[in-house]
Amino acid sequence: MAKVCQITGKRTRVGNNVSHANNKTKRKFFPNLQKKRFFVESTGEWVTLKVSTSAIKTINKNGLEATLRKAYERGTLSV
């Protein structure tokens, strides 16, 4: 499975390791993804999402359904 947040769409970024001698080699920056279960109150079901830690904070602040609705409108929601 891809390392992509299902809410924010955050994905692996590519950059450089830079040594003291300023040598550059390619490296990857991975998002901090966690597999988390959330309870959907309207349907009474549990859903498991692969989300970044910043998305977990957003869900805690705004609620799951509002966050899902916003992600769907933005086009970042992956099923």
Tell me, what's the pLDDT at 70? 94
Would 61 be classed as within a structural domain?
yes
Would 5 be classed as within a structural domain?
no
In the numeric block, which tokens belong to residue 57?
Answer: 């904070």
- Residue 34: which CATH number? 2.30.170.40
CB 46 within 8 Å of CB 35: no
Would 1 be classed as within a structural domain?
no
Tell me, what's the pLDDT at 29? 97
Helix (H, G, I), strand (E, B) or coil at 10: coil
Q: Which residues contact 51 (CB under 8 A, 6 or more apart)?
A: 5, 6, 7, 8, 33, 34, 36, 59
Tell me, what's the pLDDT at 72? 93
Q: For residue 46, what are the domain limits?
A: 13-74
Would 8 be classed as within a structural domain?
no
Would 2 be classed as within a structural domain?
no
pTM metric for this prediction: 0.85
Q: Write out the chain's pLDDT in tens, 79 residues.
A: 689 999 999 999 999 999 999 999 999 999 999 999 999 999 999 999 999 999 999 999 999 999 999 999 998 887 7
Would 28 be classed as within a structural domain?
yes
Into how many domains does the chain fold? 1
Tell me, what's the pLDDT at 37? 97
Residues paired with 26 in a beta bridge: 16
Distance of CA 53 to the CA centre of its chain: 7
Tell me, what's the pLDDT at 1? 63
Helix (H, G, I), strand (E, B) or coil at 44: coil
Would 6 be classed as within a structural domain?
no
